[in-house]
Amino acid sequence: MDIFSEKDIDSLAVVLTPFRSLVTTPHILAETSNFVDQAPPYVREALIESLREFVVGNEEWYEKARTLAPRREFPSLGLTDTGLVAVSERATIITVDWRLAGQIESAGGRVINFNHHR
């Protein structure tokens, strides 16, 4: 797991500047919710509220798992990241996962490897 710093927040703000909106997927939201559930109780409430605000204030793009499973990326990336490869045909994906970034690039999608901005 990558460790992020406060400096990364500033870097991410710069990377996000040219984009009009943020988009997510149900699979990303489910994973995020699971991570929040693992947070210590003293921060969990604030994190869940931030997640709620993000969900309400941003767009969610949905593709059925049965549509994603036949894709060539599925065996190596799994459901969530295969969904991101699919979304990358319409939106830019920002990730620290070099393997995901490589798959998106090879599929002709749009990706920013955030590690290059750190």
Report CA 17 to chain centroid distance, whole Å: 17
- Of 112, 65, 70, nearest to 91 by C-alpha is 112
Q: Could you list the residue range(s) of the whole structural domain that residue 32 is in?
A: 22-61
Beta strands in 6-50 (DSSP E): 23-24
Distance separating alpha carbons of residues 36 and 85, to the nearest angstrom: 24
Residue 2 has pLDDT above 80, yes or no: no
Is 86 within the bounds of a domain? yes
pLDDT recorded at residue 118? 84
Side-chain-side CA neighbours of 72 within 13 Å: the count stands at 4
Quickly tell me which residue has 């990730």 as its tokens: 95
70 and 109 housed in the same domain: yes
Residue 68 pLDDT > 80: yes
In a domain, 115, yes or no: yes
Query: Please, what is the average pLDDT of the chain?
Result: 95
pLDDT-derived band of residue 4, with 50, 70 and 90 as boundaries?
confident
| Placement of tokens 């919710």 in the chain | 33
Shared domain for 47 and 67, answered yes or no, is no
For residue 26, being part of any structural domain is answered with yes
Split into its structural domains, the chain has a count of: 2
Whether residues 55 and 79 share a domain: the answer is: no
On whether both 115 and 85 belong to a single domain, the answer is: yes
Instruction: With cut-offs at 50, 70 and 90, classify the pLDDT of residue 3.
Output: confident
